[in-house]
Chains A and B, each alone.
Chain A
Amino acid sequence: MQEAAVHDFGGDPGLINPDVEGLDGSFDRIIQEIPQTLIRAADDWALDPAVSADPYPLLKDVRDRCGYVVRGENGVFGGVPLSNNWGIDLAGTPHFIVLGVEEQDAIVKDTGRFRNEDAYGALGTAQGVAHGEMVGTIPTVNDGQPHDFLRDFYDTFLNVNTMAVRSRRLIGPICEWLIERMVARLKRGDAACLVRDLALPLTYKAMSTMLGVPQDELPTFVALGEKLFSAGVNVEEGAKAGDALFDFFYSEVQKRKREPGKDALTYFVTARKDDERMLNDAQAAITARFILPAGIETTWRGLALMLLQILAHREQYDDVCQDPMLARRAVEEGLRYAPSGFVTPRLASEDMVVGGCEIPEGGHLTILQGITNRDPRRWENPDVFDIHRKFKSNRTFNTGVHSCAGQHLARLEMMTCLQLFAEHLPNLHLAIEPERVEIRGFQVRTPLRIPVCLK
């Protein structure tokens, strides 16, 4: 087969720059048909209901009683039972949670002794598997050179400059269309919800367009995303969806080799280092599939949670409407105060002491960035949402060599959306009391419904 000419994507944003298609009735139908099961937390079923509903007060109490690194007994930490997201052997593996920023930083910067490999357990391994075989891998479950190689590959297409361009070209128009649709619905007297009518469709559409999913396949893509995300509830269905998504991307990869486009998939099959393709076909399909859990499910939830918080603090929303340059402040405070991705694991490869706690070799740590983001040693009044606070960077995307490769994209999506809200929707309000919005889950926090209205 004739392969496409080699592109040097370098930092040139023009080369992954697809046009947005299908902003019409077909997108409206897709939105109406979003399965309700996609709007849920993947691990709610495995959680103590009190933890799922609001982990903050319970875990802050554990921190205040037990310290910033806490050893668990059979998945219970200072009296609070947490879900075993990575499927670790709780009886045979000493396990810990990390609740402070200093401790988090010390751990993730010591990449020699705190490893990613095997830390994500079954969940990490599954990302590289298709049809029962290991056919690829992701940066999150690798350390050292294999990680750095993959990371270079991701950084090239997700870097801050290329993302800025894509944000204007891609996220802006989709967001404007969704805002118009929401306003039309509200004016007709229909309900509008920031999850179903904004955050979820915006993220799915933007990311699938960037990847190069043909837009008439968007409903299939959303449906498979839903099954993949529900793998915890239905393992078999989840694995089947994983295989189907792999096949879908594998066949798109073959098409891009014949006929390159302006999308990320084309970059996946043409990126080269030392005159060799960086990813083979299977690895390219694995990479595209990984964007679903890593980049889509996290981002729509993060966006919705940030919008919920800023609207719940009305005067701060008004401030952003007055001065849209405050959007970055609001996004950072939203990320700090109410992150979607709540946890990050590591595995200790030597005996050591962190935060006064002895961690033996083989010990498993789950960093709770949702809680480290409220470390009282770093932030004054950490439990208050205040976009005007003295800014200090948060840990929602973690830090160090594994820090989120897609953070610029996620931030830009959130910033663009909030700035467009400020411009077009200064009269938007929550339609219910913020306390009545149900947020569920531990691994990735999920707001179930955020009804809004115009006043």
Chain B
Amino acid sequence: MPISVEFRTPEGESHVLEAEPGETLRNLAVDNMVPGLIGECGGTCACGTCHVHVDPEWIGIVGEVEEGGLEDGLLYMFESKSDRSRLGCQIELTEDMDGLKVDVVVEDF
């Protein structure tokens, strides 16, 4: 069953997309050209250009970043890191994420 995911850009645009559970948030955004979510490294947790802030209502379901791991270490490099920060390539969409909302974080690369 496809699910629905909303990306909100810093410019205030909203992109609501249909997704298949199993794909990553990064691939969904890149395949649909969501502005600002570049996903430069291809999803290998290496670049940080798939950074999102997960909506407060959804962070419990998506899960916070694991403390001290590779993803945390990469996010720690960015001033825009918050306790809702995740890398889109490390989020595998599941059926219970239907309705998920995330804010795209654009770094000045």
The chain A residues found within 8 Å of chain B, CB to CB, are 160, 163-164, 325-329, 331, 391-393, 397, 399-401, 403, 407-408, 411-412, 415
User: Does B66 reach chain A (CB closer than 8 Å)?
Assistant: yes
Given contacts A329-B76, A412-B70, 16 further A-B contacts (CB under 8 A): A160-B45, A160-B90, A164-B66, A164-B69, A164-B70, A325-B76, A328-B76, A393-B41, A393-B48, A393-B49, A399-B41, A401-B42, A403-B42, A407-B46, A408-B45, A408-B70
* B44 partner residues in chain A, CB cutoff 8 A: 397, 403, 407-408
* A411 partner residues in chain B, CB cutoff 8 A: 70
| Contact assessment for A328 and B70 in the assembled complex, using a CB-CB cutoff below 8 Å | yes
Identify which of residues 88-109 in chain B touch chain A, using a CB-to-CB cut-off of 8 Å.
Answer: 90, 109
Identify which of residues 30-51 in chain B touch chain A, using a CB-to-CB cut-off of 8 Å.
Answer: 40-42, 44-49
How far is A401 from B109 in the complex, measured between Cα atoms in Å?
23
1/0 per residue B59-92: CB within 8 Å of A? 0000000101111111011100000000000100
Chain B's nearest CB lies how many Å from the CB of A79?
34
How far is A397 from B77 in the complex, measured between Cα atoms in Å?
20
| Contact assessment for B46 and A392 in the assembled complex, using a CB-CB cutoff below 8 Å | no
| Contact assessment for B42 and A328 in the assembled complex, using a CB-CB cutoff below 8 Å | no
* A392 partner residues in chain B, CB cutoff 8 A: 47, 109
| Contact assessment for B77 and A328 in the assembled complex, using a CB-CB cutoff below 8 Å | yes
Chain A's nearest CB lies how many Å from the CB of B80?
12
* A403 partner residues in chain B, CB cutoff 8 A: 41-42, 44
Give the residue name and chain of the A residue nearest to B67 (CB).
Answer: A325
Q: Which of B66, B77, B109 has the most CB of A within 10 A?
A: B77
Chain A's nearest CB lies how many Å from the CB of B31?
15
| Contact assessment for B42 and A400 in the assembled complex, using a CB-CB cutoff below 8 Å | yes
| Contact assessment for B48 and A391 in the assembled complex, using a CB-CB cutoff below 8 Å | yes
| Contact assessment for B74 and A328 in the assembled complex, using a CB-CB cutoff below 8 Å | yes
| Contact assessment for B74 and A399 in the assembled complex, using a CB-CB cutoff below 8 Å | no
Chain A's nearest CB lies how many Å from the CB of B39?
11
How far is A326 from B45 in the complex, measured between Cα atoms in Å?
16
- Given the interface contacts A164-B66, A393-B47, A397-B46, does A329 sit within 8 Å of B77 by beta carbon? yes
Chain B's nearest CB lies how many Å from the CB of A200?
23
* A393 partner residues in chain B, CB cutoff 8 A: 40-41, 46-49
Chain A's nearest CB lies how many Å from the CB of B48?
7
Identify which of residues 4-46 in chain B touch chain A, using a CB-to-CB cut-off of 8 Å.
Answer: 40-42, 44-46
